[in-house]
Structure 1
Amino acid sequence: MKVLLSIKPEFADSILDGSKHFEFRKSIFKRDGVEKIVIYATMPVGKVVGEFDVGGVIALEPEKLWEETKAHAGISFNFFESYFSGRDKGFAIRVENPQRYEQPVALNEVIPNGTAPQSYRYIN
């Protein structure tokens, strides 16, 4: 099963160039069996730019999550702390085998209505 994630362009680039090994989320998929993440780089890019395999999901309280992931988080501690402020739990999706598409794809070619997901969306 695949999930489409909206990711800021700078973080999408870091994932696809191999320097960011975790994608952080406040909430995670409800369904089991998500094996691949398709990356929608938000505006100003506004295109589907690549994908990666899910190497697992770490679910911990933010302080422990940072300790576990900080070496390859691809974000600053200040950004991490601000993002998870007030949260009891955070999630880190482990990035494996990132692949940048040769040609970015229009969103409406991936999902019928072409509307970017706020968090995530299951796709075929």
Structure 2
Amino acid sequence: MAETEDILISVHPRHVDSMVRGQKTVELRRRPLKVANGCRVWIYCTLPRGSVEVLGIVHTVVAAPPSKIWRDYGRQSGITKAEFDAYYEGVDTAYAIVFSSVEKLNLTFALAEIRRHLSSFHPPQFFKRLATGGPELNLFAAALPSSSGVCA
């Protein structure tokens, strides 16, 4: 059986809140992201909160022209059409991480707390792969939601 892939991404607080409320089930990106279906996506909420708060499971990653991404996933993106158009201005290909589930973690990890355990930790600008058995993943796995159905 293949191991679960884990990555860490940074998302603005407004969008993290939309994820937790179930209003945002798609994360938009301007750059390609190669992750497998079933990948666990640990979501770092950027400052001023600065904490790992949410776990998403990738259903699929879609690459398409921005107009197609908006048509297929706009309602799930948590942003307005004007925000979408501004974000993808000048871009020929848009990327959408479509989540099969998004759950708030049982525990959150504030940046200061993470750095107490992992002094060299820096939130990713785009994304960061987390090594199986690595210190970051070991720390975050303690907060897996009990309903996630995923083993650490």
Partner of 1:115: 122
- Residue 90 (str. 1) matches residue 90 (str. 2): no
What CA deviation, in whole Å up to 9, does each residue of 1:25-44 have, x standing for no partner? Answer: 01132455661110000000
Deviation at 1:116, TM superposition (A): 0.9
Q: Is the 8 A contact 1:2 1:34 kept in 2?
A: no
Matched, 1:55 2:41: no
RMSD: 1.9
Q: CA deviation at 1:111?
A: 6.2
**Residue segments in structure 2 that go unaligned for 5+ positions in a row:** 132-152
| Equivalent position amino acid for 2:125 in 1 | Q
SS in 1 for 2:123: coil
Q: Is the 8 A contact 2:33 2:61 kept in 1?
A: no
Q: 1:106 aligns with which of 106, 110, 114?
A: 110
| 8 Å Cα contact 1:5-1:121 kept in structure 2 | yes
User: Which is bigger in relative contact order (C-alpha 8 A, separation at least 6)?
Assistant: 1
- Structure 1 residue runs of 5 or longer lacking an equivalent are none
Distance across 2 between alignment mates of 1:2 and 1:111: 17
Q: Deviations over 1:50-78 (max 9, x none)?
A: 11100101110111110111222211111
Amino acid in the other structure paired with 1:115:
H
Equivalenced residues, count: 124
CA distance in 1, matches of 2:37, 2:14: 27
TM norm structure 2? 0.74
Larger Rg: 2
Amino acid at match of 2:121: G
Offset of residue 21 of structure 1: 1.5
TM-score for the superposition, normalised by structure 1: 0.89
Report percent identity of matched pairs. 27
Which one is further off, 21-30 or 73-82?
21-30
More helix by share: 2
Q: Which is richer in strand?
A: 1
Answering whether residue 33 of structure 2 is matched by residue 29 of structure 1, we say yes
